[in-house]
């Protein structure tokens, strides 16, 4: 089976395109089940974050599998006018695995060495596994990828610094405002991104927070945790009138802050400037807001311009991480290439035994009067003939298992000798 991936990320698609394919966690199970039913898809994992949307799968037909994933992505994006094709990338076989290894290690992130991505990939895999849409190749691929991500963070310095989208958002705000000590900060949303953002703000000296969320109970829990003032979502306009700075990271599918709302708020503020940083995907704040006088609005794509003091150190660590990934890729290739070879060799040897036993059972009864010693010589000769006959194909199978021709040669041997291989069972045996 061949690993494949189709996706788009912050490098290939702007936020207004990425938000069209963002999947809320409440719909993840149904989408996974739907993708699994597409032609050629034998197992699937869907990774949806603020900066990327990727569908990993395994297939026995690369072209069919890739077309299925692309068709799902187009359908999800409701691609009626502007084509989404120009934003999509895809990989197959080993480039897919290497891409996943780099993603989980934080080497493909907007913020080099990003710490959150490891947990996000783990959560995506766990969701697919729990839904029952993975298979043995997907399981091993993602288990190995997560191990690589942990190894990179353990053996390099890439994880020694606080690196995440929320951290970078705080850095951007700090570069604009200079200090948080006298600022009243409004946090919209109570999820992981909002929690991390607030922790970084506290570390930078911020102390006055307002929190608002559609769930009043979650807003109150968040307020207790961070010593903030919880405000009902219905009073959001009052929060916006008071705040000096806004960080928004909700899971809303639609804008929660509209341009006409901000226009009214700015009149109440007597044109006192307001900085808004929207790190949600889909976006929380209507982009038209940025055209209102006194407003400074930044979305997640603006974070790529932020360079922090640890960037050089992480770039050096990334070079070491690439070496680790290259070595782990060789280990993966050895494992993956051996999947069809080992059971084929076993089946070939079994077929040889069957032929030998059948012919001996037919010949020995016709040889009347032979001694036990003579029968032993005949059986040894039969063994020798079969072993010599199978020596070349078995040796060649082992030699080509780690080459691009390995799968093709294995298939030729299977067809030539009429071997029936239980692929799923073979994968199971190799993953034990």
> HEC states along 104-134?
HCCCCCCCCCCCHHHHHHHHHHHHHHHHCCC
128 neighbors 28 (Cβ within 8 angstroms): no
CA nearest to 48, candidates 29, 76, 67, 25: 25
CA nearest to 127, candidates 32, 10, 227: 32
Q: Return the structure tokens found at 236.
A: 């959001």
Q: Which candidate in 44, 45, 50, 138 is catalytic?
A: 50
Query: Which own/partner contact pairs does 69-76 have at CB distance under 8 Å and 24+ positions apart?
Result: 69/4, 69/5, 69/6, 69/35, 69/38, 69/41, 70/6, 71/38, 72/34, 72/35, 72/38, 73/6, 73/7, 73/8, 73/21, 76/20, 76/21, 76/23, 76/31
**Burial 62-75, CB ≥16 within 10 A → b, else e:** beebbbbbbebbbe
Q: Return the structure tokens found at 107.
A: 């080497």
Rounded distance between C-alpha atoms, residue 129 and residue 136, angstroms: 10
Half-sphere exposure of 54 (CA within 13 A, CB side): 27
Respond yes or no: is residue 50 known to be catalytic. yes
According to DSSP, residue 156 is labeled S
Sheet holding 2-9, edge to edge: 43-48, 52-59, 2-9, 89-92
29 neighbors 37 (Cβ within 8 angstroms): no
Q: Enumerate the active-site residues.
A: 50
């Amino acid at each position: 089976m061949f690993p494949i991936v189709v996706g788009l990320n912050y490098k290939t698609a702007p936020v207004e395109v990425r938000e069209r394919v963002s999947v809320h966690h409440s719909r993840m199970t149904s989408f996974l089940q739907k993708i699994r039913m597409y032609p050629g898809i034998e197992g699937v994992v869907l990774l949806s974050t603020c900066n990327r949307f990727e569908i990993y799968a395994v297939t026995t037909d690369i072209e069919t599998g890739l077309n299925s994933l692309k068709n799902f992505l187009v359908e999800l994006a409701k691609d009626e006018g502007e084509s989404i094709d120009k934003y999509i990338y895809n990989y197959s076989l080993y480039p897919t695995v290497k891409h996943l290894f780099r993603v989980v290690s934080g080497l493909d992130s907007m913020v080099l060495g990003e710490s959150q991505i490891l947990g996000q990939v783990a959560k995506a895999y766990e969701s697919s596994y729990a839904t029952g849409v993975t298979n043995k190749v997907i399981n091993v691929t993602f288990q190995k990828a997560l191990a690589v991500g942990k190894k990179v963070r353990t053996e390099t310095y890439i994880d020694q610094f606080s690196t995440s989208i929320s951290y970078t958002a705080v850095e951007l705000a700090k570069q604009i405002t200079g200090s948080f000590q006298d600022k009243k900060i409004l946090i919209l949303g109570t999820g992981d991104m909002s929690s991390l953002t607030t922790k970084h703000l506290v570390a930078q000296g911020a102390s006055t927070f307002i929190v608002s969320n559609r769930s009043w109970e979650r807003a109150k829990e968040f307020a207790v945790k961070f010593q903030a003032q919880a405000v009902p979502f219905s009073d959001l306009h009052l929060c916006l009138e008071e705040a000096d700075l806004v960080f928004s990271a909700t899971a809303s599918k639609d804008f929660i802050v509209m341009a006409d709302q901000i226009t009214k708020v700015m009149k109440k503020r007597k044109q006192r400037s307001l900085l808004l940083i929207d790190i949600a995907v889909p976006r929380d704040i209507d982009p038209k807001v940025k055209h209102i006088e006194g407003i400074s609005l930044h979305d997640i794509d603006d974070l790529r311009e932020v360079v922090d003091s640890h960037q050089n150190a992480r770039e050096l660590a990334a070079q070491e991480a690439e070496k680790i990934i290259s070595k782990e890729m060789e280990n993966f290739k050895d494992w993956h290439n051996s999947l069809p070879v080992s059971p084929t060799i076993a089946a070939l040897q079994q077929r040889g035994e069957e032929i030998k036993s059948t012919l001996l059972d037919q010949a020995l009864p016709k040889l009347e009067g032979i001694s036990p010693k003579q029968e032993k010589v005949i059986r040894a000769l039969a063994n020798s003939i079969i072993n010599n006959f199978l020596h070349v194909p078995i040796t060649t199978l082992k030699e080509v298992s780690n080459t691009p021709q390995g799968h093709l040669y294995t298939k030729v041997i299977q067809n030539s000798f009429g071997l029936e291989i239980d692929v799923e069972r073979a994968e199971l045996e190799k993953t034990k």
